[in-house]
Structure 1
Amino acid sequence: MTSAFVRAHTRLGSAPHVPEIQLHLAEDAFDLWERVEDQVGEKGLAPPFWAFAWAGGQALARYVLDNPSLVAGRSVLDLAAGCGVVALAAAKAGARRVVANEIDQFAIDAILLNAEANELSVQTEYGDMLDGDADGFDVVLAGDIFYDTAVTSRMMPFIHRLRTRDVTVLVGDPGRAHLPREQFTRVAHYEVPVPTALENAEIKTTTVWQPR
């Protein structure tokens, strides 16, 4: 089972910028990444994005926890949720309903394990949601989503559809090259500790953005 794999290759701890939330995280980022990469083609595994608290997610989770009125009593979607730290922050901040979306079953299982560890209620949605308009959600959150041009080309039309419905959209980004900054307004920024094995840095200056 994928949940057994998640348990076997992670340890329950917390991300440095969001110590309030417990997460199943890889102890050795490089080792797990290599272990899964070796099986990507052979067994159809995706890279283990779910085993790390990426800077964009940490910053966005911190912002939500520090500004709970953004989500309190509202329906929240965490898009491309990874380990689910943003979804968990929203649940902890008092959201009425939280759904964490992912296209990797390992991530779905990691999110459910993390929700259980924090005694928080988070639903999951497996599959690609970028062709829709997130109907039924008041808030859409996305941490570290602008990592390549293909995703950005689909993400921006999705965000524009959300804004026509007055959905609150917030994005956490650690300076990825593909974020179209001219279409966003900065609402907060943080210095976020990150695994050096993945980011080639100990700290990433990370911004929370809102579309204009």
Structure 2
Amino acid sequence: MSVTVRKCLRVTSMLGSSFYRYHHNLKLNCSAIQRANLQLLNCASSCHDNHIHLPPLSARRMSSSGRRTCHHGNQSQNGLVSNDEDVIKRFIVDNTEVDRSHLTPEIALRLMTPACPLWDAPAQQSSDILQHHGIDDPFWAFYWPGGQALTSRYILDYPSVVSGKDVLDVGSGCGASAIAASMSGARSVLANDIDRVSIQTIKLNAELNDVTVATTSRNLVGQSNNQWDVVLLGDMFYDKDFTDTVTDWLKHLADVGTTVLIGDPGRIFLQDHPVKRRLVNIFKVDLSEKCRQENNGMTQGFVWKLCESER
């Protein structure tokens, strides 16, 4: 790998991918280190003797409200955003490859791999490419472990969970959970992500797997007009404020009878949150060696069901 990040395995184990994803921006956005949480930087500095080569995964950048950064309209902080879906799709195709080397080989996904041009590109070059296209960190190009757990052997092996039901996949990213739900017989599937590039990725991946998935980039968190039987969230808890906001909404959904399923590999903001008292573990899967290497400190993925009331 072209970037060496100084960090400690113990710190990574405790803080998980929150620390990890901040610092992967060193590869895809050389200014990301300036946005990282100061406490995490101090932890890393105290472990300066540990040099670990990390793959250039991206971070899910958060706004001050805790939601992932998303720029709408014609202009973003990084430059002009094309409104042409074909232009965005071409960028995705040119910078990803079809991959099945994950926990759900039944699903083909366009992902960023070591064979892709941005993976080992110099930091400035990759930053310039993303800025030229007006694209934020491409979290949509990776299949995060919480999503793999939720999508993988759970939905695909237990299709009755979604079969014949209306399903919402929040923070859909590459669209894997939505695609799995469609493959498993869901009556309707809506993939929701506030990043418009993610929306085009979902469309490409749905077409690749010959399934029908509706998409929306509207922020649905907090929407009280519940029209879904099942709500899926895969690997979303990277910020305390956002965790507070989304879990308040999820608790409301569960209390009115919606099945809420959460895929998570042990993110600290979920594990330490009061909502944990309402979560029941219904599935566990060992992550692949490849996934472990890309997510230091993570060895298993869990699926949690949110109960209607505290136990």
Q: How far has the Cα of 1:186 moved from its partner? A: 0.5
Aligned mate of 1:159, from 250, 263, 270: 250
Structure 1 contact 33–48 (Cα < 8 Å) conserved: no
CA distance in 1: counterparts of 2:242 and 2:96, whole angstroms: 28
| Consecutive unaligned residues in structure 1, runs of 5 or more | none
Q: Which amino acid aligns with 2:107?
A: I
CA distance in 2: counterparts of 1:36 and 1:121, whole angstroms: 33
Q: Structure 1 198/134 Cα, relative in aligned 2: closer, same or farther at 3 Å?
A: farther
Question: What is the Cα-based RMSD across aligned positions, in Å?
Answer: 2.3
Structure 1 contact 99–122 (Cα < 8 Å) conserved: yes
- CA deviations 1:82-105 (Å, max 9, x no partner) are 101100000000000001000111
The TM-score normalised by the length of structure 2 is 0.63
Q: How does 1:1-212 map to 2 (within 5 A)?
A: 1-28=87-114, 30-31=119-120, 44-62=134-152, 63-133=154-224, 135-179=226-270, 180=273, 181-193=276-288, 194-195=290-291, 198-200=294-296, 204-212=299-307
Q: Structure 1 43/16 Cα, relative in aligned 2: closer, same or farther at 3 Å?
A: closer
| Consecutive unaligned residues in structure 2, runs of 5 or more | 1-86
Q: Which amino acid aligns with 1:108?
A: I
- CA deviations 1:91-136 (Å, max 9, x no partner) are 0000000010001111101100000000000010112111213621
CA distance in 1: counterparts of 2:121 and 2:101, whole angstroms: 17
CA distance in 1: counterparts of 2:236 and 2:291, whole angstroms: 18
SS in 2 for 1:19: coil
CA distance in 2: counterparts of 1:10 and 1:30, whole angstroms: 10
CA distance in 2: counterparts of 1:33 and 1:100, whole angstroms: 33
CA distance in 2: counterparts of 1:173 and 1:33, whole angstroms: 31
Higher strand share: 1
The TM-score normalised by the length of structure 1 is 0.90
Q: How far has the Cα of 1:197 moved from its partner? A: 6.7
Identity of aligned residues (%): 36
Structure with bigger gyration radius? 2
Structure 2 contact 145–291 (Cα < 8 Å) conserved: no
